[in-house]
Chain A
């Protein structure tokens, strides 16, 4: 079955710097890759997603890139702010069926 790895497990950046979180997946049939943000005491919230027919997608300060050949995708957050501090999860699925999640990255944005 699908396996998703995520790195780093923790990440600290200064406010205003960029943050990058990387995920790799094992099943070449996976074609949908969402990213979720989880704040303390809350459920994960979808922040951006990408499908395998697209190499990059942006939404304001957030972008996701996908390299199908290497089977990895990355989340990029620019101009980080304290409210970006949270746990971020990547996931992979085949046609949106039953996501497999990475173990998460705890991002801390230091003022």
Chain B
């Protein structure tokens, strides 16, 4: 999707290892979000950021941490990956509250 890229696109990792997913935007949007998508659950918010170094938890934040040291980058870290964290992870951006989100193409993470 234009202006927002996620890396890697696919990753397989072992249980107990740390994993970091990256979201990079070129839109200079203030708000950035990490969601996970699982069958039957739709999209659930993990963490979000409303500015550099300003982050907050979403509804499924346990086992995840985030960092935003620059406007353009929002990192999601799985501190010790578990099989329950196997999912598709989406990053989203928006310029302000009250605006629709622009989503990235997703990262498919498999924890074995």
Contacts and interface: CB of A to CB of B under 8 A. Distances in A.
Contacts of B58: 98
Q: Is the interface of B mostly helix, strand, loop or mixed?
A: loop
A102 to B, nearest CB: 6
Contacts of A102: 42
Nearest to A45: B103
Interface of A: 1, 6, 32, 34, 36, 41-46, 49, 89, 95-99, 101-104
Nearest to A48: B100
Given A43-B90, A43-B105, A103-B42, A98 B98 contact: no
Of B42, B45, B90, the most chain A CB neighbours within 10 A belong to B42
A103 B40 CA distance: 6
Nearest to A1: B59
Given A43-B104, A44-B90, A101 B97 contact: no
B98 A32 contact: yes
B64 interface: no
